[in-house]
Amino acid sequence: MKFYEKLQKLRSDEGLTQEELAEKLFVSRTAISKWESGRGYPSIDSLKAIAKHFHVTIDDLIGTEEIVTLAEEDKQASVKKYTAL
Protein backbone atom coordinates (compact mmCIF):
# COMPACT_ATOMS: atom_id res chain seq x y z
CA MET A 1 0.00 0.00 0.00
CA LYS A 2 1.37 3.39 -0.99
CA PHE A 3 1.61 6.44 1.27
CA TYR A 4 -1.38 8.20 -0.26
CA GLU A 5 -3.57 5.12 0.28
CA LYS A 6 -2.44 4.80 3.88
CA LEU A 7 -3.12 8.46 4.57
CA GLN A 8 -6.61 8.22 3.09
CA LYS A 9 -7.36 5.14 5.17
CA LEU A 10 -6.02 6.60 8.42
CA ARG A 11 -8.00 9.80 7.92
CA SER A 12 -11.25 8.06 7.00
CA ASP A 13 -10.87 5.48 9.80
CA GLU A 14 -10.71 8.40 12.22
CA GLY A 15 -13.74 10.01 10.57
CA LEU A 16 -11.91 13.19 9.62
CA THR A 17 -12.47 15.34 6.57
CA GLN A 18 -9.48 16.64 4.65
CA GLU A 19 -10.19 20.07 6.12
CA GLU A 20 -10.21 18.75 9.69
CA LEU A 21 -6.95 16.86 9.22
CA ALA A 22 -5.37 19.91 7.61
CA GLU A 23 -6.27 22.03 10.65
CA LYS A 24 -4.76 19.47 13.02
CA LEU A 25 -1.54 19.32 10.99
CA PHE A 26 -1.36 23.08 10.34
CA VAL A 27 -1.36 22.65 6.57
CA SER A 28 -3.84 23.54 3.85
CA ARG A 29 -6.68 21.30 2.72
CA THR A 30 -5.17 21.35 -0.75
CA ALA A 31 -1.96 19.88 0.69
CA ILE A 32 -3.93 16.96 2.13
CA SER A 33 -5.73 16.53 -1.20
CA LYS A 34 -2.42 16.54 -3.07
CA TRP A 35 -0.91 13.94 -0.75
CA GLU A 36 -3.99 11.71 -0.88
CA SER A 37 -4.13 11.82 -4.67
CA GLY A 38 -0.49 10.74 -4.94
CA ARG A 39 0.59 14.01 -6.59
CA GLY A 40 3.18 14.77 -3.95
CA TYR A 41 4.61 13.99 -0.55
CA PRO A 42 4.60 16.00 2.65
CA SER A 43 7.74 17.63 3.98
CA ILE A 44 9.69 15.76 6.62
CA ASP A 45 8.13 17.96 9.32
CA SER A 46 4.62 17.30 8.04
CA LEU A 47 5.38 13.59 7.79
CA LYS A 48 6.45 13.60 11.45
CA ALA A 49 3.22 15.41 12.38
CA ILE A 50 1.12 12.87 10.46
CA ALA A 51 2.87 9.95 12.17
CA LYS A 52 2.46 11.56 15.58
CA HIS A 53 -1.21 12.39 15.01
CA PHE A 54 -2.12 8.85 13.94
CA HIS A 55 0.24 7.16 16.45
CA VAL A 56 2.19 5.31 13.78
CA THR A 57 5.83 5.34 12.74
CA ILE A 58 7.12 7.01 9.61
CA ASP A 59 8.13 3.54 8.43
CA ASP A 60 4.48 2.49 8.76
CA LEU A 61 3.47 5.40 6.53
CA ILE A 62 5.98 5.06 3.73
CA GLY A 63 8.13 2.37 2.19
CA THR A 64 11.87 2.44 1.57
CA GLU A 65 11.61 3.75 -2.00
CA GLU A 66 9.20 6.43 -0.91
CA ILE A 67 11.58 7.48 1.89
CA VAL A 68 14.38 8.01 -0.63
CA THR A 69 12.09 10.03 -2.91
CA LEU A 70 10.86 12.13 -0.01
CA ALA A 71 14.39 12.82 1.20
CA GLU A 72 15.51 13.86 -2.27
CA GLU A 73 12.54 16.21 -2.70
CA ASP A 74 13.13 17.74 0.73
CA LYS A 75 16.83 18.24 -0.07
CA GLN A 76 16.00 19.94 -3.38
CA ALA A 77 13.51 22.24 -1.65
CA SER A 78 16.14 23.18 0.96
CA VAL A 79 18.73 23.90 -1.73
CA LYS A 80 16.30 26.16 -3.59
CA LYS A 81 15.40 27.96 -0.38
CA TYR A 82 19.01 28.68 0.55
CA THR A 83 20.13 29.64 -2.93
CA ALA A 84 17.24 32.11 -3.09
CA LEU A 85 18.66 33.84 0.00
- Residue 54: CATH number of its domain: 1.10.260.40
In terms of pLDDT, which residue wins out, 78 or 67?
A: 78
Residue 84 has a pLDDT of 79
Residue 51 has a pLDDT of 97
Residue 34 has a pLDDT of 97
Burial 50-85 (b: 16+ CB within 10 A, else e): bbeebeeeeeebbeeeebeebeeebeeeeeeeeeee
- Structural domain boundaries enclosing 72: 3-84
Residue 66 has pLDDT above 90, yes or no: no
Contact criterion met (CB below 8 Å) for 7 and 25: no
Residue 70 has pLDDT above 80, yes or no: no
If one counts the domains in the chain, the total is 1
pTM: 0.74
